[in-house]
Amino acid sequence: MLMLNAELPAGTLGKRPTITLRIEKQIVQAARALWPAAQALVELRKQSSKRNVAESIAYLEADYPEGMRVLAKHIDVLERHFARRGGIEAHRHKCAATCFASDQQ
């Protein structure tokens, strides 16, 4: 969620946020660009550990320009994530019930 906060429009302070149709379209567009880019990065990182995260993002930028632009802003977070013991597989098992539940609906 931290990565998306920078990409989404800010709301009015003190007011309960209202998602308008325009904002909803922005959120959907960001998700549609980010999801395949993130999946491609995870798959590439599984296959090749010789590239660092920044090089992997640069490699995938031709295929996913908008998604990689967002991910490139958060290289430090991604490097810490992939450096953790178990990497993405440990995370996938930990959040399978919540992260991937929407895929089945």
pLDDT (tens digit per residue) in 29-76 = 889 989 999 999 999 988 866 888 999 999 999 999 999 999 999 999
* Residue 15 clears pLDDT 90, i.e. is over it: no
pLDDT number for residue 103: 43
Give SS3 for 80. Answer: helix
83 pLDDT band, cuts 50/70/90, is confident
Query: d(Cα 81, Cα 100) in Å, to the nearest integer?
Result: 18
Q: What is the reported pTM?
A: 0.62
User: Nearest Cα to 71, choosing from 26, 28, 36?
Assistant: 36
Q: Kindly tell me if the per-residue pLDDT of 89 is higher than 80.
A: no
